[in-house]
């Protein structure tokens, strides 16, 4: 089973990011933070050619549910959606929650992971344009 979901997107990084933020809010998730990886690396003196932004997204109710089952899951939260440019094209990518949650052996949380995964895929599909 594939652990990564990827989508090619229409438009530039800014446009895709704006659409993603709208889609995240529409699905009752929130953007906790955005890491501009290229800028952060430049700040540390490392030249990195590919623009890349990592969006940390979370649904607080779902997070509470899985954390109450197993605090180790905090190592996989919040969910991250990466937007990056390569060869002039924008791609959205994420690690799938169902694959990540399997690492913790929490069978009871599989339906929550599946629900979160559906929502994240939907956000990404909408943002792709």
* Percentage above 70 pLDDT, the chain: 99
Strands (E), 64-116: 79-86, 89-95
| Element holding 4 (H helix, E strand) | strand 4-9
Instruction: Give residue limits of the domains in the chain.
Output: 4-128
Q: pLDDT digits over 94-106, tens only?
A: 999 998 888 888 8
- pTM metric for this prediction: 0.92
pLDDT in tens, 44-71: 999 998 899 999 999 999 999 999 999 9
Using CB atoms within 10 Å of the CB of residue 104, give its burial: 0 to 12 exposed, 13 to 18 middle, 19+ buried.
Answer: middle
Topology, domain 4-128: TATA-Binding Protein (3.30.310)
Scan for tokens 């990404």, then name that residue. 124
């Amino acid at each position: 089973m594939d652990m990564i979901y990827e989508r090619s997107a229409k438009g530039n990084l800014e446009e895709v990011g704006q659409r993603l933020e709208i889609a995240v809010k529409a699905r009752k998730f929130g953007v906790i933070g955005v890491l501009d990886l290229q800028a952060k690396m430049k700040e540390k003196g490392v030249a990195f050619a590919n623009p890349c932004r990592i969006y940390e997204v979370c649904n607080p109710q779902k997070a509470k549910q899985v954390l109450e089952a197993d605090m180790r899951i905090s190592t996989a939260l919040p969910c991250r959606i990466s937007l990056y440019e390569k060869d002039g094209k924008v791609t959205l990518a994420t690690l799938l929650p169902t694959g990540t949650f399997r690492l913790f052996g929490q069978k009871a949380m599989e339906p929550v992971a599946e629900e979160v995964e559906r929502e994240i895929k939907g956000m990404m599909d909408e943002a792709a344009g």
